[in-house]
Amino acid sequence: MHRLVLSLYLILAILPARADERALAVSWIWKSTPPGATERVFFRREFQLPPDVASAVVTVSCDNWQRLFVNGHDMGKGTDWHSPSTYNVLAQLKPGTRNVIAVEGRNEGGVAGMALSFRATLKDGKKLHVASDGNWLCENEAPEGWQDLDFPSTSWAKAVVLAKVGDPPWGDVMKLESSEPAAVQDKSGSFSLAPVTDTEEAHVKLPAAPPTSPTPSSIPAR
């Protein structure tokens, strides 16, 4: 009898976890642990977008403070990790080529982490998803222009994954993830995220895209 009760308890305990797995996988990330009490971390994630993007939003949260940039555009800040900020970023995107999402995060004591979800819908209805994970690059110091698309961040460190969104210590503050059943994470492979260290390959996949890295001799002197 006890075994039956235990089994029922385990089944009930597992059900919510499986529901979470169907939601978008988003992780809390940081530069390293333990975080400094006033540590600042600059995050970057480059990715390739198809040409036919119809809508796109970013939801971001940080313990304790964050400012979001999309292709260098300042989208605003958030100061309460309990209340993630969501932005319509369609106007800031560059469909058909490389894009970069950048976040400045600041800790104000205790634990620290940043979580972000980018969801886009293509004109054919296909959903795309880019989330904070161990593929993001980060650094504690960043020069001017760190949030721009042409900033060379290949020497930056890979972010450390601290927890999945929904897990402690922050809990499920991004509830909209699971309440948006249409925004399913693409696992078919047809949505290819450009590896941040392999942009040449990404450009090869875009025969119609103009070169984004002009030779030094073509840059006018400032």
| Reduced 3-state DSSP string for 24-89 | CCCEEEECCCCCCCCCEEEEEEEEECCCCEEEEEEEEEEECEEEEEECCEEEEEECCCCCCEEEEC
In the complex with Ca ion, the residue whose CB is nearer, 173 or 202, is 173
Least distance CB 73 / Ca ion (angstroms): 27
User: Is 23 or 41 the residue whose CB approaches Ca ion more closely?
Assistant: 41
CB of 79 or CB of 192, closer to Ca ion: 79
- Closest approach, Cβ 146 to Ca ion, in A, equals 22
Instruction: State the minimum distance, in angstroms, from the CB of residue 104 to Ca ion.
Output: 15
Which residue lies nearer to Ca ion by CB, 67 or 129?
Answer: 67
CB of 112 to Ca ion, least distance (A): 5
Ramachandran angles phi, psi of 25, nearest 5°: -85, 110
What pairs with residue 120 in β-bridges?
56, 128
Q: In the complex, which residues of this chain contact Ca ion (CB under 5 A)?
A: 63-64, 107, 110, 112
- The residue nearest Ca ion at its CB is 110
Bridge partners (DSSP) listed for residue 118? 58, 130
CB distance 75 to 69 below 8 Å: yes
